Amino acid sequence: MRITCVMGPFLPVPPLLGGAVEKIWQSLCTEFASNGHSVTLISRQFRGLPNHERRRGVTYLRIPSTDAPSSKLLYRAMDILYALRAHHVLPESDITITNSVSLPLLLPRDRAGKVVVSVARFPKGQMNLYRSVDRLQAVSRPVAAAIRQQSPNVAHLVRVIPNCLSDAFLKAKAASARNPRREILFVGRIAREKGIELLLEAFLGMQDCDDWHLTILGPSDTRTGGDGAAYKQGLLWKAANSGGRIAFEEPIFDDAALANRMREAEIFVYPSIAEHGESFGMAPLEAMACGCATLVSDLGCFRDFVEEGQNALVFNHRDATGSSLAQSLQRLVGDSGLRRAIGTAGQATARQFSPSRVASQFLDDFTQLQVAATD
C-alpha cells in the first residue's frame, strides 16, 4: 500500500520539541515501511532538518509552518494554511492518515485514497465534520465512547486502535534486574490539570519516607503545553518545605534518554485530574515499560491498560485532600515486594503496545477499508 501520514502543523518530526503524537506516528510509519509499504510522512519544516529526506524506508516531506500561536483564531488560521500546503504536496496514496483539524476537509480524495482521522484527544462535538472520511481512529475506549455519544451519525466510522510505545522504552531490563534509587518520578507537562499540586501535598504528608525523593520532570513553557513560569514558581515555593527532597528537572525529548531516566526511578506517579484531557496516558505506559512501580489517577483512559493492584495502583484523584494519593504512595514506599511485582507485571503489559503489534492493527484495518471499497 501507499500510505501517507500528515502530522499537525506545529511540531517537527523527529520530535525535537517533544510531542507524543509525533513520536508515535514516526514509530508507526517506520513499522509500516518495514512491512514493505511505501510510506510518506509530512510534517513542518524545522531548522536543521532537510525539507526532503528518506529515513529507514520512510520519505519525509517538510512544509513551511511555525510554532503554535497563543491566539485560538490564529491557531485555526495556521492549521488551514498548513493543510493547504499539505494538499499541494500530497502524493498519490491508498491511505492518508492525519491528526490535522482542517486537512480531512480539504484532502483531494482522488490522491488521498481512504482517509483516516487519528483522534488522539477528547472530541468537542466536531466529529460531525468528518462524515465523509473512511475511519475515525480513537486511541482509547473513552475517546471512542465520546465520539459516539456526541456524534452518533459517525459512530460506524469509529475503531479503537491504541498508541504504541517506541522501541527505546521496550528495551528496558526486567524489573527484577533493575537497581533504581528511592525516587518517586513524575514526567509530563507542568500544568494544573496534571495534578502536580496534589502530588506535592501527598508527598509532603507522607510518614517515614525521609530517604525518598520526588522529581517533577517536564516543560512549564506555555509553548510546549505548560502553564508558565508563574505557575512553576508557585510549585517551587511549595516544594521548598521538603528539605531538598523535591526537585524539578528540565524536559527530556529524546526517547532513549527519557527511558534511561525513567529506569533510575523506583516509583512513577501520574496524578492527572483532567477528566476530559487525558485520552490515553503515554507517560504511565512508558514508565511501566521501564519497570517502574506505577501509580495513576482513576481516569477512564488508563483502564485500557491498567489492572488495579496487578500492573499498577490507582488512587482517587477526586479526593482534593490528597489522602487517597498519599495512602497509595505510602503503600508502595513501604512494600518493596509489591513494587517489584507491579513493575514486572507492568513491563509485560507494555510489550502489548509495541510498534509492530499496533502497526499490525492499523494495517489490518487499512486492508479492510481497501476491500470494502471494492465490494
Q: Give the residue numbers spanning the domain of 20.
A: 2-164+354-374
Pair 214, 138 in one domain: no
- Predicted pLDDT of residue 174: 58
Instruction: Write out the three cell numbers for 190.
Output: 507542568
Residues 6+ apart with CB under 8 A from 53: 59, 60
Pair 13, 160 in one domain: yes
| Number of domains the chain is built from | 2
Question: Per-residue confidence at 275, pLDDT binned at 50, 70, 90?
Answer: confident
Please answer whether residues 144 and 122 qualify as being in contact, where contact means their C-beta atoms are separated by less than 8 angstroms: no
| pLDDT tens per residue across span 38-68 | 999 999 999 999 999 999 999 999 999 998 8
- Predicted pLDDT of residue 172: 65
Size (the chain), residues: 375
Pair 127, 185 in one domain: no
Q: What is the CATH number of the domain that holds 22?
A: 3.40.50.2000
* Angstrom distance (rounded) from CA 20 to CA 22: 5
Pair 191, 304 in one domain: yes
Pair 183, 133 in one domain: no
- Predicted pLDDT of residue 71: 87
Pair 15, 88 in one domain: yes
* Angstrom distance (rounded) from CA 184 to CA 19: 23
Pair 150, 257 in one domain: no
Pair 252, 362 in one domain: no
Pair 152, 182 in one domain: no
Least Cα distance to 27 among 136, 172, 165, 169 occurs for: 165
Instruction: Write out the three cell numbers for 9.
Output: 502543523
Pair 208, 340 in one domain: yes
Pair 235, 273 in one domain: yes
Pair 315, 208 in one domain: yes
* Angstrom distance (rounded) from CA 146 to CA 123: 7
Residues 6+ apart with CB under 8 A from 216: 186, 190, 196, 199, 235, 246, 247, 248, 249
